[in-house]
Amino acid sequence: MNDPADLLRAALADLVDGLPPRQAAQAVERLIGTYRGDTPTDAPILRDRADVVAYAAYRMPATFAAVRSALAAFADAVPGWTPGSHVDVGGGTGAATWAVSDTWGGSRPVTVLDWAEPALALGREIAAAHPGLRDARWQRSRIGAALTVDKADLVTVSYVLNELTPADRTALVDAAAGAAEAVVIVEAGTPAGYARVIEARDRLVAAGFRVAAPCPHSAACPIVPGTDWCHFAARVSRSSLHRQVKSGSLAYEDEKFSYVAATRLPAGPAPSRVVRRPQIRKGQVLLDLCEPDERLERRTVTKRHRDLYKAARDAAWGDAWPPADGDRVDERGR
Interacting residues toward ligand SAM by CB under 6 A: 44, 46, 60, 63, 90-92, 95-96, 114-116, 119, 142-143, 158-160, 163-164, 168
Backbone phi, then psi, for 90, in 5-degree steps?
Answer: 70, 35
CB closer to ligand SAM out of 89 and 285: 89
* Least distance from ligand SAM to the Cβ atom of residue 282, Å: 41
Compute the C-alpha angle 112/117/121, nearest 5°: 70
Q: Whole-number minimum distance, CB 88 to ligand SAM, in Å?
A: 7
Neighbours of 95 (CB within 10 A): 30
Give min distance, CB of 105 to ligand SAM, in A: 21
In the complex, least distance from residue 55 CB atom to ligand SAM, rounded to whole angstroms:
7
Evaluate the omega torsion of the peptide bond into residue 118 and state whether it is cis, within 30 degrees of 0: no
Q: φ and ψ at 96, to 5 degrees?
A: -70, -30
Q: Please, what is the minimum distance in Å from the beta carbon of residue 187 to ligand SAM?
A: 10
| Helix (H) or strand (E) segment spanning residue 31 | helix 21-36
DSSP class of residue 66? H
Q: Which residue, 143 or 311, has its beta carbon nearer to ligand SAM?
A: 143
Pick between residue 163 and residue 199 the one whose CB is nearest to ligand SAM: 163
Q: How far is the CB of 91 from ligand SAM (least distance, A)?
A: 5
Positive or negative, the CA dihedral 265, 103, 52, 196 is positive
Closest Cα partner for 74 from 244, 162, 204, 248?
A: 204
Residue 310 CB, nearest distance to ligand SAM (Å)?
Answer: 36
Residue with smaller CB distance to ligand SAM, 64 or 104: 64
Residue closer to ligand SAM, measured from CB, 43 or 224:
43
Nearer to ligand SAM, 60 or 197 (CB): 60
Specify the residue, 81 or 257, whose C-beta has the smaller distance to ligand SAM.
257
93 burial level (CB within 10 Å; 0-12, 13-18, 19+): buried
Buried-state track 297-325, b at ≥16 Cβ within 10 A, e below 16: eebebeeebeebbebbeebebbbbbbbee
* Chain position whose Cβ is nearest to ligand SAM: 92
Identify how many contiguous H helices and E strands the chain contains and give both numbers: 10, 13
Provide, rounded to whole angstroms, the least separation between the CB of residue 96 and ligand SAM. Answer: 6
| CA distance linking residue 242 with residue 179, whole number of Å | 37
- Compare residues 119 and 315 and give the one whose CB is closer to ligand SAM: 119
Alpha carbons within 13 A on the beta-carbon side of 126: 35
